[in-house]
Amino acid sequence: MKREKNELLQFLAGLLMLGAGLFIFMQKVTVSSGLFGFGFSLGGLHVSNGLIIVPFIIGIVWMFASDGSFAAKIVTAAGVLIIILAVIMTTNIYLQRITLYEWILILVLIFGGAGLLAKILFGGRRSGRTPHADTPEIEQTSRRISDRAQSVEDELERLKKDR
Segment 114-139 shows an average pLDDT of: 72
Nearest to 30 by CA among 104, 97, 119, 88: 97
Domain boundaries, the chain: 7-125, 132-163
Residue 75, Cβ neighbours under 10 Å: how many? 19
96-122 pLDDT, tens digit each: 999 999 999 999 999 999 999 999 988
pTM equals 0.51
CB 24 within 8 Å of CB 98: no
Q: Is the pLDDT of residue 132 over 60?
A: no
* pLDDT at residue 35 in the model: 58
CB 113 within 8 Å of CB 15: yes
| 37 phi/psi in degrees, rounded to 5 | -75, -20
b/e sequence 35-59, b meaning 16+ C-beta within 10 Å = eeeebbeeeeeebebeebeebbeeb
